Chain A
Amino acid sequence: MSLGLAQRSRALNCFIDDIYNRQKILADGIVPADIVLDSGNYKAPCAGVSPRYGAWAHICGTDLVRDQRGKFYVLEDNLRVPSGVSYMLENREITKRVLPELLENYSIQPVDDYPSRLHSTLASLSPRPLRRPCIVVLTPGIYNSAYFEHAFLAQRMGAELVEGSDLFVDADDALYMRTVDGPIRVDVVYRRIDDDFLDPEVFREDSALGVPGIMRAWKAGNVAIANAPGAGVADDKVVYAFVPDMIRYYLDEQPLLASVKTYLCMHEKDRNYVLANLDKLVVKPANESGGYGLMIGPHASKARRAEFAKLIEDNPRNYIAQPVLSLSTAPTYIDDHVEPRHLDLRPFILQGKDTWVTRAA
C-alpha cells in the first residue's frame, strides 16, 4: 500500500511538472490537452516554474476505500490543501486512553512522527541552505473550519502560524513576516488557503486572505510554497481516470493500487452508457471536493436523476461516473449504541527531497 501510494504521488508530481513545463504527455496524446488546459484547476501563471525536486504536491491526502471483496481502491487524490491529519494524531491519543488493550494486543505502527516528517519535508524545500530555515503555516484565520489543524501543526512543527496580513513581499521579491523585531525573511510557506486566494496580484483581486506578490517571490525562487500553486491541476476527477496511464508513462511501472472504473462523460460512448445507467452509478462533478454536488444513482429520486442527465448533457466535461462500491464499514458509536458506518482512509504522502507515507491511522 505504502509503495503504491508513493508511486502514485511520484507520477502525479511528474505530471504536474510536465504540464507547467514541456507538456510532453499532451504532445504524446496520452492525456487529451483540452481536459487539462481548459480546466479551472490549470493555473496559467504557474507555467515555466520548476520547484525543487520537481515536487508540486508536497502533501497529498489520498482517499482509499475497500469494497465488499476486501480490495482497496484509490477513490481520489487531494492535492490542493488536504486536511485531516490532526484528527489522525488526536485520535491516536484518545485511542490510547480509551482502548489501551488494543495497542497492547496488536502491533500497531506509531503515527506521531508526522509533524517532524512534515517539518523535514518542508525544510528540504528551502531556497536558502540554512540549518533552520524559517517555515510558516499560512491560515485563512480562526473562522476556517480547519483552523484547529493549522494551529496544531504549526505548534507541533515549531513553525509560526501566520495570516496573510503578517506577510509581505519587499522590493527584492523575497517574502517577509512582520515581527516585533522588524521584518524576518520567510523560506517556506505551508499554505492552507486555496490558490484563488493566495495572491490578489495574480488570482482573485478581492482576496484579503492572501499576500500580494507572493507569486512573484515564488517564481523568483525566493520562497517555497507547499503545496505549490497550480498543483490542483492533477486533482480533478477526469484527470484521475488517467493516473494509471501516467504511472506507466513517467515511471515505466505498473500501477500497484487499483483505481475505481471511471466513465468520462466527455466521451460519447461513456456518456451514452452513463445516461442509460444513471440508476446504477455515482455521478460526480469533476473538480469539487468533499462530496459536493454528487448524485448516488440507486438512492436518487427520478427527478434528481433527470436533473443530472441534463447537467451531463449541458456540460459533459464537468462530469464523471463510477460504479457504486459497497464500502467497508466500521463499528461507530452513535448516540448510545454502536452502528456500522462506511469509511474511507486518508493516508498522507509527503513529497520533498524524499517520499514518505503515513503508515497507520
Chain B
Amino acid sequence: MSMLSRVAERLFWMARYLERAEDTARLIHAYTHMVMDIPKGSEPGWDILVRILDAEPNFAQHYRAYNEQNVMKFLIAEPDNPGGILSAIRAARENVRTTRDVLPGEVWEHVNELYLYAQEFAEKSISRRNRYQFLETVIARCQMINGMVVSTLPRGHAYRFIKLGQLLERADMTTRVVDVGAAALLGDERLHSTVDPLIWTSLLNSLSAMGAYRREIGPQVEAGAMVDFVLRTDTLPRSVKFCLNGIRKELVPLNNNRDALALVIKARRKLSAFDPQQCSREELHLFIDRFQFILTQLYNSIDRTWFMTEERQALTTLT
C-alpha cells in the first residue's frame, strides 16, 4: 500500500511541529531553571532563546525589549511565531486533521486535546509560577503521543515519514542547543568560570541527558565533553548522531532515496571529522552553522523527492 505524497508531507510536518513544541518547551524549562540559580545581574539575557530559534526578525515585529515577559510570551503563546509552542501545536493539529485516517484513532484525539489545552493555558502560563506546569504538561503529552505512535502504528510509510520529521527536527534542535552554549558566552569572558557550567548543565537537562552524561563522563559538566556527548553519542536518543542514524534507517526502504542518503552520509562524515574537544567557540559556532545547512539540504531533498507536486515545482522554478 503506497501513500499519497500530500499525506506523507502532512505526517512529516505533524511530527516536526510536535517535536518543535516539545523541544521548545524543554529549552524554556531548562533555561528558566538555570536563570534562577544565577545571581541577579550576571545572568545571560533572554534574547539567547530567541536567537537559538533564529526568530529575531519575527520577534522584532511584535516586541521591542528582550525581557523575560516578552520572550516567554513570544515563545509560548504568540500565535504568529511558527517556532512558538502554541502555534507549533496548532500546526501539528491542522496536519493531523487531514491525515487522521492513516493514524490510530487516539492520536488525533490526543493531538486535539493537547491543542485545546495549549489554547486555554498558553497565555496564562507566561509567569514563572505557572510556566513549569504548562511546559511539563506539553512535554508529557507530546511524549504520550509519540508513545502511541511507537506502540500502535504499523511500520509502513506513515510511521516512516513521522519518524523522518521528528528526527530531522530533533537533530536541528540539538545543534541549536549546542550553539546557544557557544553563543551565550561568546565574547563575555567574565561569566565563564561561574556561569559556564550552569549553562551547559541546563542545556544537558533540556535534552534529558544529564543523567546519562553523569554515568558516562562524570558529574563535572565541561563544555568540550558536553558538546561531544550530545553531538556524537550514538546511544543517546536526542544526540545528532542518533538522529542521523534513525533518519538513515527510515530512508533505506524508500524508493528514489539516493540523493537523501548521500546527504545523510555527508552529515555523518562531517560529524565524525569534527572534534569539539579541540575547537574554539567560534569554530564550534561555524561548524554548527555549516551542519545546519546540510540538514536544510536534507529536508529539501526529502521534499523534492517524496512531497513536491508538479504544480509546486513549477511555482518554484518561476520564482
A-side interface residues toward B, CB under 8 Å?
142, 151, 154-155, 160-163, 165-166, 168, 177-182, 184
Among A151, A154, A178, the one with the most B-chain Cβ atoms within 10 Å of its Cβ is A178
Asked if B186 is at the interface of the complex by the 8 Å CB criterion, the answer is no
**Alpha-carbon gap, A117 to B98, bound state (A):** 25
Question: Is the CB–CB distance between A180 and B6 below 8 Å?
Answer: no
**Alpha-carbon gap, A165 to B314, bound state (A):** 13
* A119 CB, min distance to chain B CBs, angstroms: 15
Asked if B309 is at the interface of the complex by the 8 Å CB criterion, the answer is yes
Known: A160-B4, A163-B6, A165-B311. A180 touches B101 (CB 8 A): no
* A304 CB, min distance to chain B CBs, angstroms: 41
Minimal Cβ-Cβ distance residue in A for B94: A142
* B20 CB, min distance to chain A CBs, angstroms: 22
Known: A151-B101, A155-B101, A180-B254. A166 touches B2 (CB 8 A): no
Minimal Cβ-Cβ distance residue in B for A155: B101
Query: In the assembled complex, which residues on chain A have CB atoms less than 8 Å from the CB atom of B310?
Result: 168, 178
Question: Is the CB–CB distance between A180 and B255 below 8 Å?
Answer: yes
Question: Is the CB–CB distance between B2 and A162 below 8 Å?
Answer: no
Q: How many residues of B contact A (CB 8 A)?
A: 19
* A145 CB, min distance to chain B CBs, angstroms: 15
Query: In the assembled complex, which residues on chain A have CB atoms less than 8 Å from the CB atom of B306?
Result: 180
Can you report 14 A-B residue pairs in the complex whose CB atoms are below 8 A from each other? Answer: A142-B97, A142-B98, A151-B100, A155-B101, A162-B4, A165-B309, A165-B311, A166-B4, A166-B6, A179-B5, A180-B2, A180-B161, A180-B255, A180-B306
Question: Is the CB–CB distance between B101 and A154 below 8 Å?
Answer: yes
Query: In the assembled complex, which residues on chain B have CB atoms less than 8 Å from the CB atom of A181?
Result: 2-3, 255
Contact with A along B250-287 (1 / 0, CB 8 A): 00001110000000000000000000000000000000
Query: In the assembled complex, which residues on chain B have CB atoms less than 8 Å from the CB atom of A155?
Result: 101
Among B4, B157, B161, the one with the most A-chain Cβ atoms within 10 Å of its Cβ is B4
Known: A165-B309, A165-B311, A168-B310. A178 touches B5 (CB 8 A): yes
Q: With A179-B5, A180-B8 given, name 5 new contacts (CB 8 A).
A: A166-B4, A178-B5, A178-B6, A179-B4, A180-B157
Query: In the assembled complex, which residues on chain B have CB atoms less than 8 Å from the CB atom of A165?
Result: 6, 309, 311
